[in-house]
Amino acid sequence: MAKPEIKKSLQQFDDELKQLYITGQWQYEGLLAACIGGPKPRGEAYLWPWKMVGEKLAEACDVLEESVTARRSLLFNNPGVPMGGTTHTLLMGIQMIKAGEIAWAHRHTLAAVRFVAKGDGKVFTVVNGEKCPMQPNDLILTPQWTWHDHQNPTKETAMWVDVLDVPFMLGLNQPFYEPYPGDKVQAVRDKPSEHLQQRAGWVRPVWENSQKENLPLRYAWKDVEPQLRALADQPGSPYDGVALEYVNPMTGGPTLPTLSCWIQLLRPGEHTKKHRHTSSAVYFAAGGEGTTIVGDKALEWTKNDCFAVPNWAWHEHVNRSMSEEALLFSVNDSPIVNAFGHYREEPEVSLRSMSIPAVPVPKSK
């Protein structure tokens, strides 16, 4: 008499499939059910205080005696992102070069921005042959695959915030890198008339085909601050205060295809409403002091502190001073999320949702 066939268990079948590099879709049903209401925030809300970072940068100046062979940059790793990164798509850090130093020229497919914390305008970054002076609160772009080097001919150290799309690009397996051929610094364009930045303003040459992406751009604080002040009496965003985006002047779109940069003014005593969105963000406190509450965690920041807010995490901002303004520079990955149509906000979509000021109505006699 034949023995009855013993039926495989689901676990045994799953184990067999695993050996064949196959997974049954039923394995994902629990994962999908866990996504009801949205994803869990990727990473932690975390703050890197300037008191600690500044001390380590000073030590780095001793340990790394020169910046020719290694960039003196401290990068912030979120404890909740095992693969590395300040958020799951962004990498933030602070870079310092000493008096008389250079940071050698190279290019890569990683997009980067530089927000200046210390510099006198004689310090500069060269992007594709164009000099970009570096003064406090200036923003300088080094778009993907543009040559760039940093030079400090002064007698003081210079310092800036770096933000790159490293985790995102590594996730796509798209990293390319190339050192500048021959020398450590780039050849510089001789004439201002050859600068692409001269072609990104209100008027442009009619005889040329305009370049719209990967432009060497410097958003000088002397130009940005008046615009911020001019709008400071407006209600602003109930969630972010008076927040302005640095836009590509040729397209009107985000700062870079993968990075959106903001400058954000919190008026004395201002406490924004809490919200959450599918983009993640990193912040640099450019002035003042405040608290950013992320979930049940309070990140208390002062000037030069850096912090991360993961995606889909409830957060709100507070200016702790009742007499002084607070200023935040931030970079978020909303261009990536928007590119796939996945940008969401709760409790409402606040980005570009309000009407512009109406045409004034003539006063009645």
CA distance 135 to 158: 9
| pLDDT tens, residue by residue, 117-156 | 999 999 999 999 999 999 999 999 999 999 999 999 999 9
The order of strands in the sheet holding 326-332 is: 46-48, 306-309, 281-287, 326-332, 260-266, 242-246
| pLDDT tens, residue by residue, 248-296 | 999 999 999 999 999 999 999 999 999 999 999 999 999 999 999 999 9
pLDDT at 182 over 90: no
Burial of 96 (0-12, 13-18, 19+ CB in 10 A): buried
Give Cα separations from 202 to 43, 123, 212, 328 (angstroms).
Answer: 41, 27, 14, 28
pTM of the model: 0.94
State the average pLDDT over residues 311-324: 98
49: CB partners within 8 A, 6+ apart: 301, 302, 305
| pLDDT tens, residue by residue, 14-63 | 999 999 999 999 988 888 888 888 889 999 999 999 999 999 999 999 99
**Secondary structure (3-state) at 62:** helix
DSSP letter, residue 208: S
Residue entry with tokens 């940068």: 57
pLDDT at 4 over 80: no
CB atoms within 10 A of CB 199: 17
* DSSP conformation letters of 132-179: EE--TT-EEEE-TT--EEEE--SSS-EEEEEEE-HHHHHHTT---EEE
pLDDT, residue 233, reads 95
| pLDDT tens, residue by residue, 146-159 | 999 999 999 999 99
Residue 162, phi then psi, degrees to nearest 5:
-105, 135
DSSP-derived pairing of the beta strands 281-287 and 242-246: unpaired
